[in-house]
Structure 1
């Protein structure tokens, strides 16, 4: 028959083995979750696509070469797809309108989220800020030519949470060059790319 000390020693060894087994199991689970977060759940940036661009509310005046004026609103229909297997949450964001490298319009995009594998559609009205536009010396010659080239830049900044353990920062970008005929208020050419470079 084992002595009390021998029994106590066996129990300690048994407890130590149990603790080591539990720690090993926990580490294995964490390792598996880590592998899943970078394989099956590997985070991917959301995908922008510009469905269409149109012009509305155009008003042009070139009577005074010293003070030409142009008022218009570009409407952009944008789709953003979340390719991830988890929800993408984005914060307050913006879309900007540029004329010859200068910001001449901005529209805020309210914070939101896109479900796993889902797509959201946004219609964004980019209205010209006349004071910024009028300060550009090229405006008069562009109005005389009848066509003006604008560029747009849209950015969504957000996060995905993999298995509620790993947080990944993701960003979606879209930029377009839009050529507008100011006489008949139409978009005569547009080209978009989905990159973080203007």
Structure 2
């Protein structure tokens, strides 16, 4: 009985041992924090790599847009042909000037849009001059050109009105030299819009010199020469 009581007291004095599975040691806790640090570091590296790739793609896209859609160029005007559609010459002893003449010219002009987006333009204005004096003004309708498209416009105009033919210098030049030197100007205003985000107004013009061969019975086009220029008002 005494031995049993002594053994029981010794068991009560024996310290209890904590289970490692229930109470982890400091080493286990440190290992867990180290593992989380590596995981977070991998996440940051992955995010940085994604940001770099996205930035590179955006930069490439901006470069492509800059050299294609946003690199807007002016449209071009070209005089394809010019013909004499009608010629009239009148003589009268009752008029102040014995001779008056009228010539109707028809010119074909092309407008070309070199851009990757459409070009919307207003009516095209064509003027003919004789030494600074305006002989006439003609208009072609407004329109819109698609990307890399072109269109042709016909312009008809009476370029030798009676008020110009009343100039004795004109009549003298016609009869002595058989030529009449005219200049023409064609101008067009328009706008290019890229997705509605970028808009640019453009104005282009075309100056031409036209030499008419004039006789008492007909008028012919002897030569033409054209050069692009800034728009005139």
* TM-score bracket, shorter-length normalisation: 0.7 to 0.9
1:99 pairs, out of 130, 133, 148, with 130
Higher Rg: 2
Bigger relative contact order (CA 8 A; separation at least 6)? 1
2:102 pairs, out of 71, 74, 84, with 71
Q: Which is strand-richer, 1 or 2?
A: 1
Structure 2 residue runs without a partner (length 5+):
1-53
Q: Which residue of 1 aligns with 2:88?
A: 59
Structure 1 residues 197 and 108: alpha-carbon distance in aligned structure 2, compared to 1, 3 A threshold:
closer
Structure 2 contact 113–119 (Cα < 8 Å) conserved:
yes
Q: Which residue of 2 aligns with 1:188?
A: 222
TM-align CA RMSD: 2.7
Q: Which residue of 1 aligns with 2:117?
A: 86
Q: Which residue of 2 aligns with 1:111?
A: 142
What is the alpha-carbon distance in structure 1 between the residues aligned to residue 122 and residue 168 of structure 2? Answer: 36
Q: Which residue of 1 aligns with 2:180?
A: 148
Q: Which is helix-richer, 1 or 2?
A: 2
Structure 1 segments of 4+ aligned residues over 3 angstroms from their partners: 35-38, 61-66, 134-137
Once the two structures are superposed, residues 175-196 of structure 1 have per-residue CA deviations (whole angstroms, 9 ceiling, x without a partner) of: 1111111223210111111112
TM-score (norm 2): 0.65
Structure 1 residue runs without a partner (length 5+):
1-24
Structure 1 residues 140 and 66: alpha-carbon distance in aligned structure 2, compared to 1, 3 A threshold:
farther
What number of residue pairs does the alignment pair up?
A: 171
